[in-house]
Structure formats: structure tokens, C-alpha cells
Amino acid sequence: MAKRIVIVGGGAGGTITANLLARNLHHELTTGQVVINMITNTPDHVYQPGFLYIVFDKVRSEEIVRKQRDLLDSHINLFVDPATKIDREHNVVHTQSGKEYPYDFLVVATGSRIVPETIPGLAEGGHFFYTLESAKKLRDALKDFEGGKVVISVGVPHKCPVAPLEITFMLYDYFKHKDMLDKVELQYTYPINRLHALEPVANWALPQFEGKGIKYEVLFNMEEVDPVKKVLKSMEGVEMKYDLLITVPPHKGAPVIEDSGMGKNGWVATNKQTLNNESYTNVYICGDTTDIPISKAGSTAHFEADVIAERISSQIQEGSTSTRYDGKVVCFVETGFDEATYVWFNYKNPPKPTPPSKMLHWMKLGYNRLYWLSAKGVL
């Protein structure tokens, strides 16, 4: 009987894992020894980092959306049928249509989603840029904005940890290009006691903020928004008036995780090296879905996908595996419209950001196009 691999989730992590498995197991797939089934919620695949550029009219939505089927190796079966329950005791995934997908190996890559509704008033009073719809809404609000106080605030937990800094620097350049800096006050806030979680990035950002006149309030965690009076209150007791509120709302994992009893708030207990779900050696967790205290970012999912695909392939072909995830994360950081830096780090090596340059900005723009090769498991 064929070994059945089921991948739940068609984002970066799930798609890269599936395509790498199809490449590693080409012989087994073509001879009927292995079957790969992917279960997703949507027929579309969205390059989420593109939302930031939608806000500033730098890309069109058509550029960041592709058909999931077109990205997958032809040997992978795709089922657009949301998973409703994952039963690890019986090795089966149940879907909305009532179908069951038994598995020998399971990859859970269900991602994360913004939950602005968990902070009173935020959904009504705040703008976001973590969905296509909200990014377009913010783009239009910025076009109409005639001046005033722009507050940037960040929920916990959140994915793409560099996005709050990126949008702040890009807002500065946006208003500079519109010759509006004298009419706009940029106020950045951040949950911990520096400008960014990565200390070297925070240290780099501080003089940038001071040089550009960007105000900042640290140890600021959103508690409540009054959308009528336009006031944002923090858990720490600070009240801040705003004219335009731009936030990264708190995140949760997919509902199917909690519905399956796999982890509170949608985060699944994951071994930081093997990426197995606790003692389930045939269940792997990829990307934002893990509870590993590491950046929730596309690159994290990508490097985890490399490890998971290698481990499953080896388990099938050799009966065992020794490949481990070392915590590798690589992130570009846009520092405005013209320059960028990048950081890479892992469990043992802290990040050391390089000075921003135009070349790194162009590399980031290039990667925005090359992403589709990453998704296909080529890059």
C-alpha cells in the first residue's frame, strides 16, 4: 500500500514542503509507492509580504496572487476543501465536505491570521496591512489623508516582525515624496522596551528615528481603541490620540488547530529541532503554526519546509532521519523606498544587520518576483 503524505495548508510552508517532497520522492510517486495530498482553504496562493507594497501603490494585487494548482508539482493532489478536524490518534484529517484523508505522514502548515476583534475597538478604529483587502483600504486612506498624527502600533504575537519598522520608514518616505512631512506626526509604538525585538536592529533604528523626527513610545501594548474619540489605550496606562491608526493586530493560528485540541490559540507544541508535534513522529508542524519562540515569517517556514521534506523523504526511503532545524531565519528589512538591510540568525548566532543599501533594496524587489520559484521548491 502506498505511503500517504497529507499536507494541511497551502501557504509558503506547505507549498514548499509539498514540492520538495515531490522532487525527493519522484520515483516513489511515479511508481505508486507514495501519494501526496494537499488540503487548502482557497484555490489562490498569496505572497503576503506584497501587502506592504500594495499600501504604497508599488505593486498590483495581480502580481502577488497565483493559482495554487499552478505552483504545485503535477504529482501532488490538491483538494480545496478546508480541514475541520485533525485526528492524530487515528491518523486522519476530516474536511468541510465530509471527506476523510488518512495519512502515514502529516504536515500541518495552517499559518496564522490577524484577530483585531480581540482588542475592543481595533477592528473599527484601526487600519491593517496583513490582508489584501485591508492593505487596499489603508492605501486609499493614505491617499485621502491631509495631515495629522499617524500612530503605528503592534499586537502580540504577530508575524513578520520587521513589518512595523518597514511601514514606519516607508510612511516617512511616502509623506516626504508628497511634501507633507510638515503636516504629519509619525508616532511609533512597540510592545517591549526597545524599537524592535532584535536588539541590533533596535539599536540601528534608534538614530534613524531621531534623525527623521519619528516619535516613539516603547512598552506599549494595545488594550483598547476608542474609534469615536480616536484614542488608543495601552495596557501600561498610556492614552494616545491619533488621526490615523495603523496597526499590526495580534495573531492567532487556524481554527482547525483549536477545534482538534492541538493547541491553544492555534499554536502547536513543536520540537524546535525535529519539528515533530511532541511525541508524534509522523506529524510535522511548519511555519507560523509552531509554538517555537522564533519569528513567524515566510523565511522561517521556508527553512523549516526544507528540513521537514528531507526528514519525511528519509523516513520513507531509509527508515530513519537525522536532519535537524537550526533555527535559521533570514529577513530583508525595507528602510524606506530606496534602501534596505537584511538580517539572518539561528538558535546559536544572533543577527548582525548590515548597513542599508540600494543594492539590498533591489534584491528585496527581486525576491518579490523570485518568491514563486521558492514556492515551487526551485530556489
Partner 1 sequence: MADVKIDKTVDARGAACPGPLMELIKAMKSEDVGTVVEILSSEKGTSVDAPAWLKKVGQELVSVEQKGDYWSIVAKKIK
Q: Which of residues 270-329 bind partner 1 (CB under 8 A)?
A: 272, 293-295, 327, 329
Cβ–Cβ < 8 Å for 325, 290:
no
Q: Which of residues 57-96 bind partner 1 (CB under 8 A)?
A: none
Which of residues 11 and 253 has its CB atom nearest to partner 1 in the complex? 253
- State yes or no: residue 191 binds partner 1 (CB under 8 A): yes
Which of residues 80 and 192 has its CB atom nearest to partner 1 in the complex? 192
Which of 361, 358, 306 is closest to 329 using CA atoms?
Answer: 306
- State yes or no: residue 351 binds partner 1 (CB under 8 A): yes
- State yes or no: residue 261 binds partner 1 (CB under 8 A): no
Member of 9, 10, 111, 161 binding partner 1 (CB under 8 A): 161
Candidate ranges 34-42, 276-284, 332-340, 348-356; the one touching partner 1 (CB under 8 A): 348-356
Query: How many CA atoms are closer than 13 Å to the CA of 150, on its beta-carbon side?
Result: 28
Q: Are strands 105-108 and 280-285 parallel, antiparallel or unpaired?
A: parallel
Read off the DSSP letter of residue 117.
Answer: G
Q: Which of residues 219-248 bind partner 1 (CB under 8 A)?
A: 219, 221, 235-237
Each residue of 259-273: b (16+ CB within 10 Å) or e? ebebbeebbbbbbee
Q: Are strands 100-102 and 92-95 parallel, antiparallel or unpaired?
A: antiparallel
Which of residues 137 and 272 has its CB atom nearest to partner 1 in the complex? 272
DSSP-derived 3-state class of residue 307: helix
Q: Around Cβ 360, how many Cβ atoms within 10 Å?
A: 19
Give the cell for residue 299: 523565511
Give the cell for residue 345: 540568525
- State yes or no: residue 32 binds partner 1 (CB under 8 A): no
- State yes or no: residue 353 binds partner 1 (CB under 8 A): no
Which residues are at the interface with partner 1 (CB under 8 A)? Answer: 156-157, 161, 191-193, 197-199, 219, 221, 235-237, 250, 264-265, 272, 293-295, 327, 329, 345, 347-348, 350-351
